[in-house]
Amino acid sequence: MAKIIPFKAVRPTRDKVSLVASRSYQSYTQAELEARLDYNPFSFLHIINPGYKYQKEVSGKKRYALVRNRYLEFKEDHIFIQDERPNYYIYKIVNRNGNEFSGIVAAVSAEDYEKDCIKKHEDTIEYRENIFKDYLKTVGFNAEPVLLTYPDNTTITGIIKKTQQERAEFEFTTTYRDTHYLWLLNHSKTIDIIKHEFEKMKTIYIADGHHRSASSYLLAKELKASNKNHKGDEAYNYFMSYLIPESELKIYEFNRIIKDLNGLTKEEFLIKLDTIFRIENRGYTLYRPTRKHHFSMYLDGEFYSLYLRKHNYNIETSLDALDAQILFKTILEPILGITNLRNDKRIHYTYGKEGMVTIKSKIDQGEFVVGFGLLPITIEEMKAIANEGLRMPPKSTFIEPKLRSGVTIYEF
């Protein structure tokens, strides 16, 4: 039973939302970051990069305190205002490729995360969980929703579509040419219907934001333990999420590029691959796989297709059948000696939109030696792995939509 409730968001004023909203901090180049900080005083980047005001790098707890200060300054200057009533926020994104995403920004129960009503498919790193938990505790807000997905529901979809017939509270287009819309939904009967529909769902799934979810849960647990008067309805018991139906989720693959052949010659490497794959040289023709358990490879100026010889590979779980796991267990670990997919500096990742052309370019330039192309996983694969309590290898999915920070903010 999923507990999804409305909340009183802190939001930019209508005239400034396009200036406030920002992408994830890590997605900007240094030049982009400096330009936005230099020329846009309303960017949310000023809040999360508070040392820029003093032209100084600030880290750790000092940074957290300054983030809190910048956030309060934005509220004092009426760049941010808080809604007087709890709302569900109907949010729509139309990206430059014409893909549309419509869902609900709401507060989601941290207890549901603990009870595994909110399912995970990726491992998290403990120290990152605790760092972000401490950050949240100091700043006192969520600024970017966790992306969750739920089984398609005609009742919820109908409410979303009906709400979208009204004038949007926000409508703005980014420099990425994505257009964002936001509507407020606070009609009590409609809110009750949405709550009830989510309560009937036994499971919803994290699509993007595993560390943020874990950190929010840890914070809820800590604040609950320190609050002698804990009731269960405190704001810290929830975290902000953007919930979209499964049919609207877009999943792209992450391809792999490797810096060396682990001491093997090209011929030795191909012979080892032949044990478990049927290999075809595709020459100079750009090739990407078209079926599960098929891979593309670019090596020494030529493309290859790799077809898994299934009699040499055991599939016992949904994780075993995942292409990213197959590649890891058959090539990356046993042949190329890559055991830690998160931290080994010999492996890098390019997401599917960049394609095999990017892999070819990086290898031709001498930066890498070999690259592998995969098909994107399906929502059914993701759910099956989560339902079995298993975890995908790092960088198995690149998921859209990608959300903006600072459009809706959840305080606790």
Using one digit for the tens of pLDDT, what is the confidence trace for 282-322?
Answer: 999 999 999 999 999 999 999 999 999 988 899 999 999 99
Neighbours of 57 (CB within 10 A): 9
**CA distances for 354 relative to 302, 366, 400, angstroms:** 18, 18, 15
Go through 12-38 and write b for each residue having 16 or more CB atoms within 10 A of its CB, e for each that does not.
beeebbbbbbbbeeeebeeeebeebbe
Q: What is the pLDDT of residues 3-20, one digit of tens each?
A: 999 999 999 999 999 999
The band of 342, judged by pLDDT with boundaries at 50, 70 and 90, is: confident
Query: Across-strand partners of 107?
Result: 5, 240
The band of 351, judged by pLDDT with boundaries at 50, 70 and 90, is: confident
Using DSSP bridges, classify how beta strands 118-119 and 204-208 pair: parallel, antiparallel or unpaired: parallel
What pLDDT is attached to residue 396?
92
What pLDDT is attached to residue 125?
84
Domain range summary for the chain, segments of one domain joined by + = 83-250+400-411, 254-396
Phi first, then psi, for residue 50 (nearest 5°) are -70, -20
Of 134, 293, 113, nearest in space to 217 by CA: 113
Phi first, then psi, for residue 236 (nearest 5°) are -70, -10
List the CATH code of the domain at 254-396. 3.30.1760
The band of 53, judged by pLDDT with boundaries at 50, 70 and 90, is: confident
In the block, which residue shows the tokens 């939904």? 185
What pLDDT is attached to residue 223?
97
Could you tell me the two tokens for 191?
A: 């809110």
Query: Across-strand partners of 149?
Result: 205, 244
Phi first, then psi, for residue 36 (nearest 5°) are -70, -40
Distance CA(137)–CA(286), nearest Å, equals: 49
What pLDDT is attached to residue 378?
96
Using DSSP bridges, classify how beta strands 238-245 and 146-150 pair: parallel, antiparallel or unpaired: parallel
Of 17, 73, 68, nearest in space to 43 by CA: 17
Report the amino acid identity of residue 331.
Answer: I
Distance CA(146)–CA(201), nearest Å, equals: 18
Share of the chain above pLDDT 70, in %: 100
Could you tell me the two tokens for 4?
A: 């999804």
Three-state SS string across the chain, please? CCCEECECCEEECCCCHHHHCECCHHHCCHHHHHHHHHHCCCCCHHHHCHHHHHCCCCCHHHHHHHHHHHHHHHHHCCCEEECCCCEEEEEEEECCCCCEEEEEEEEEEHHHHHCCCEECCECCCHHHHHHHHHHHHHHCEECCCEEEEECCCHHHHHHHHHHCCCCCCEEEECCCCCEEEEEEECCHHHHHHHHHHHHCCCCEEEEECHHHHHHHHHHHHHHHHHCCCCCCCCHHHEEEEEEEEHHHCEEECEEEEECCCCCCCHHHHHHHHHCCEEEEEEECCCCCCCCCCEEEEEECCEEEEEEECHHHCCCCCCCCCCHHHHHHHHHHCCCCCCCCCCCCCCEEEEECCCHHHHHHHHHHCCCCCEEEECCCCCHHHHHHHHHCCCCECCCCCEEECCCCECCCEEEC
Cis bond before residue 334 (omega within 30° of 0): no
Distance CA(140)–CA(70), nearest Å, equals: 12
Q: What is the pLDDT of residues 225-266, one digit of tens each?
A: 999 999 999 999 999 999 999 999 999 999 999 999 999 999
What is the chain's length? 412
Report the amino acid identity of residue 209.
Answer: G
Using a 10 angstrom Cβ sphere, with 0-12 exposed, 13-18 middle and 19 or more buried, the burial of residue 279 is: middle
Q: Is the dihedral of CA 388, 393, 398, 400 positive or negative?
A: positive
Q: What is the pLDDT of residues 64-80, one digit of tens each?
A: 999 999 999 999 999 99
Q: What is the pLDDT of residues 125-151, one digit of tens each?
A: 889 999 999 999 999 999 999 999 999
